[in-house]
Structure 1
């Protein structure tokens, strides 16, 4: 019987995960907002924070299709989220732990991040309860062995999603201080082995941490490009009826909500405010009872969780929270590594963790006040609540996701490019970083061209918003931006009028562009000028793609292409005039 009890949670959460992803298990890719992949997964740079996890995925991709790996990750984020929270909760809660595990995996925050393609973030979120448990074991009985185990676990966590280095280290600091307040006799050993733990973390992550500390490496360079404009466009959003705090506290507030990129659970379940209130109230009740109990072993964790809950909710509001806006801007300006949190709503994952923990404790204490049958009814109702609260996980995520294969024309164009052994660039139009494709079930996704085609692709890396257009500093991309601005608006990127007619063949040859791919999507008609441009030859067309060859590129094909920075301003029409 005990063996069945041990295995049953594994079976149950595996079954729940399979039910959710079952409609997506047929061959094909799951393409969502930022979850874009193709046939190959490249090995990351050894200086990347994702070196460990990325290398494992790239190695597995040598034997398994990347769309198969996608489904393994999707299964794991649900399975590990449920299982880790189940085991994080005290054993005395019994079947109530199924509420905690289910809610941790089935909530609006989790749903919106799945639809946004932030699966690595969710994988880190899923294993966080395991790592918090390991942290507690370390603090209760610190040793070099436990410090090393915790350092390995956190290194894996940081490799999966680098944002957790700040989230976890902040939690570690809060929990350690509170633990020391209640266990002052362990001060020396905790400080000693905490230093050992931090040393292990530094050594295990030295491949990217050292470069980041001195402002070098891809992570530091990426963060350095962020500005206040990023805070504005990625700020948390309010519910039109209940405001910002209620929206965040209910697991919402993610910026894509205002663009309707995916179906909101609010549109499916009009009673969401009632369910949200019930979960919040039972969580508050659980916290109050735990404080009154003052269980010595668990009390530091209780206080640390509520402190981190309040911090997370406050920081998740960011600049959208008027009382905190000035502080958020100041911190963003003064503390460089905080720029990685330009989109703060991801901290609502901590709020969901606290609900799963305190809510489960609240159900337990409420059940103690009623008869056995009443306890079973209360437990059963709360276990069902997550499914009612966020029903859009089911039925292929309410019919929005389905496995897709790239159209055959993509492979035909890829073959054409591969057969050309020259060293060249291919521009992909329309010039958007995010767009809808017919074959993606009309979902808005990041442009997958650079992942799919084997030859170097020059595609847009822009946001196209009022406050921020792009962070792109590639000279070739700026050249194309300038040419498009002149073609469409007769002005360059500085706003100066330009009356010169763009000669697309010659002007793209300057940046080594030999081919142009045009996807037949919504704004395809805006690129009709390609058909009128001398030097561009249409060599392939079907219902999805058009491939143009730049015959002007061939004028210089017998000489080595000089680096872009070696051209004069007069050569670079797009840059000189933009």
Structure 2
């Protein structure tokens, strides 16, 4: 695609992003499940995965902190979210084998506005969606990986997925590997693809592999994170139509109603068939990736015992628990096939159908519009949080912060009661410790943080807390929810209440022991970061850089 060919898909993505976020673009932060941005964040050991926790947030937290040093935190968040829609639209448009604008725009619209994007956005998986947005670029670059300069192109295309961490890289690696293996000179292309994936993954690979307590698998979470039905077609049908997220609370309003679900199913089937009939470079590999991804997505539904056994054998297979994310390659297939259908309509002089195709995703999924019908609304952190940060920041005595209530997620009143990850560990400058056990229905996925596991019996037992917490290196105890008459207050005898507010209560403990925490060696982690950053700079250092991908292009410039 020529550089000018990016304009209309980019504009379309921007319009879709503005429409999707709606009131969420007002000043303030969007807190939705796992999406947490904070004002004025600082780099810390936690940012780089050096606290002993599982490095799922590496390197996305570092990216967010770096961006917040350039822009205000809430502006940085909105820029990232809008960028996802713009990049997704442009990337999908680049794979449609035509020179016409409308089919490309239609493909971009479907790829940026579908149930997968809606549910992942409400889950707060912005970092994963960055990798999703660039997935078509990965497919295009992988098809040309064996060519001169192919390694640079593929590395550039993988950068958004690398920001997203292991989940985004896993899906992108699936696509890159499948496409490369279906191309001539597959050995050379595969070597470049493996090198690019490994080098860009080093920040979380090193901290994860060298984590002293190992990598947890938690096979009991297979059922909890398995795909679920959000359409009349069951879990497998919901996955095929790009839905099926494990969390029912993330289904957009109105999605799954019989009429709209049937029409959307017809669109998906027709698009897949159109893609299958398209013969261009890389389509075979992309089709294989989509099929393999669908099988992986369905494992938790049709073969849960097998998946649990795999995780028990090697915890690394836990990346397959949240299976729905592996339908992302299928979304690429659907988008490209939809663009091909619009191009065929143009061949038959049915230009009006092409224009309607651009609008069809919005008609079939209206619940994503206007901040997902109001679910994405900006909020400001309470003033008490800022005062707590200043108190903690001014204290020269070392020690960590224990955060109560003893749970991972919150329903802050100032966030409209919407569920979000506890934001205090990222808000404060010190190491924050909370229970990272996840409760889903009747299933409890055990805590992974060694500090949380060590403190769990202390917190849950009766009796005084102050001396026992201080012995574990705790300097502060913060209550960022349920602050009125909390039963834990009576157990903190001898601690000084330094802040009392309806939104946050903060206690300071005397004479804490110096915190000790095992983690991956900082020198090795720093080396990993240096290698990754140098590879990113190298990939963008070539002259004439463009996002264009000519790999899935038919020789005549249009679909047969």
Question: 1:319: which partner in 2?
Answer: 300
Greater C-alpha Rg: 1
- Alignment check: 8 A CA contact 1:155 1:205 kept: no
Quote the Cα distance in structure 1 between the aligned partners of 2:49 and 2:434: 25
Cα deviation digits, residues 35-70 of structure 1 (max 9, x gap) = 112120426439979877665544333232222211
- Whose RCO is larger (CA < 8 A, sep 6+)? 2
Partner of 1:378: 353
Map 1:90-489 onto structure 2 (within 5 A): 90-139=97-146, 142-143=147-148, 145-154=149-158, 157-180=161-184, 187=185, 190-192=186-188, 194-196=190-192, 198-199=194-195, 202=198, 209=205, 211=206, 216-218=209-211, 224-239=215-230, 241-257=232-248, 260=249, 262=250, 264-266=252-254, 271-287=259-275, 289-290=277-278, 295=279, 298=280, 301-321=282-302, 324-334=303-313, 336-365=315-344, 368=347, 370=348, 372=349, 375-465=350-440, 466-475=442-451, 477-487=452-462
**CA deviation after TM superposition for structure 1 residue 402, in Å:** 1.8
Provide the rounded CA distance (Å) in 2 between the counterparts of 1:366 and 1:50: 44
Give the Cα–Cα distance (whole angstroms) in 1 for the partners of residues 56 and 474 of structure 2: 32
Is the 1:436–1:442 contact (alpha carbons within 8 Å) kept by the matching residues of 2?
Answer: yes
Residues 152-208 of structure 1 deviation map (CA, whole Å, 9 limit, x = unaligned):
43355324333243333333332233334xxxxxx4xx4345435544655565566
Match of residue 77 from structure 1: 84
Assess, with a 3 A threshold, how the Cα gap between structure 1 residues 331 and 362 changes in structure 2: closer, same or farther. farther
Deviation sequence 1:131-168 (CA, Å, 0-9, x none): 211222335xx22x223332343355324333243333
Deviations 1:341-400 (A, max 9, x none): 3211101222211111122223433554x5x2xx22322332222102221222222111
**Cα-to-partner distance string for 1:282-323 (whole Å, 9 max, x where unaligned):** 214414543xxxx4xx1x5333233222221121012212xx
* Inter-CA distance 85–49: structure 2 relative to 1 (3 Å threshold): same
CA distance in 2, matches of 1:435, 1:244: 28
Q: Deviations over 1:79-101 (max 9, x none)?
A: 01011111221124541222110
* Alignment pair present for 1:45 and 2:48: yes
Q: Is the 8 A contact 1:152 1:201 kept in 2?
A: no
Asked if 1 retains the 8 angstrom alpha-carbon contact of 2:60 and 2:165, the reply is no
Q: CA deviation at 1:537?
A: 4.7
C-alpha distance in 2 between matches for 1:9 and 1:484: 53
Does structure 1 residue 517 correspond to structure 2 residue 478?
A: yes
Q: Distance in 1 between matches of 2:21 and 2:269?
A: 31
Contact 2:118 2:251 in 1 (8 A): no
Task: Provide structure 2 residue ranges, at least 5 long, that are not aligned to the other structure.
Answer: 519-560
Matched residues in 2 for 1:53 and 1:532: separation?
A: 37
Given that 2:29 and 2:74 are in contact with CA atoms closer than 8 Å, whether structure 1 keeps it comes out as yes
After TM superposition, list the pairs within 5 Å mapping 1:495-506 onto structure 2: 502-506=463-467
CA distances 1:550-578 after superposition (whole Å, capped 9, x unpaired): 4xx3xx47xx658699xxxxxxxxxxxxx
More helix by share: 1
Instruction: Tell me the distance in 2 between the aligned counterparts of 1:281 and 1:31.
Output: 35
Gaps spanning 5+ residues in structure 1: where?
181-186, 488-501, 566-578
Gap change, CA 1:333 and 1:399, over 3 Å in 2: same
SS at 2:282's partner residue? helix
Q: Could you say if the C-alpha distance between residues 240 and 122 of structure 1 is closer, same or farther in structure 2, counting changes exceeding 3 Å?
A: closer
- What CA distance in whole angstroms lies between the structure 2 residues aligned with 1:426 and 1:5? 52
* Compared CA separation, residues 381 and 311, structure 1 to 2 (3 A): same
Where 1:421 maps in the other structure, the secondary structure is coil
CA distance in 2, matches of 1:510, 1:171: 49
SS for the counterpart of 1:427 is strand
C-alpha contact (below 8 Å) 2:253/2:373 kept by paired residues: no
Instruction: Return closer, same or farther for 1:202/1:311 CA change in 2, 3 Å cut-off.
Output: closer
Q: How many residues align?
A: 509
Distance 1:284 1:455 in 2: 50
User: TM-score with structure 2 length normalisation?
Assistant: 0.81
Rate the CA distance shift 1:200–1:428 in 2: closer, same or farther, 3 A.
closer
For the residue of structure 1 that corresponds to 2:407, the secondary structure is coil
Q: CA deviation at 1:479?
A: 4.8
Structure 2 Cα separation of the partners of residues 88 and 169 of structure 1: 18
Residues in 1 aligned to 2:285 and 2:22: alpha-carbon distance in whole angstroms:
38
Q: CA deviation at 1:122?
A: 0.7
Asked if structure 2 preserves the Cα contact closer than 8 Å seen for 1:41 and 1:66, the reply is no
Q: 1:233 to 1:52 in 2, by over 3 A?
A: closer
Note if contact 1:286-1:365 (Cα within 8 Å) is conserved in structure 2. no
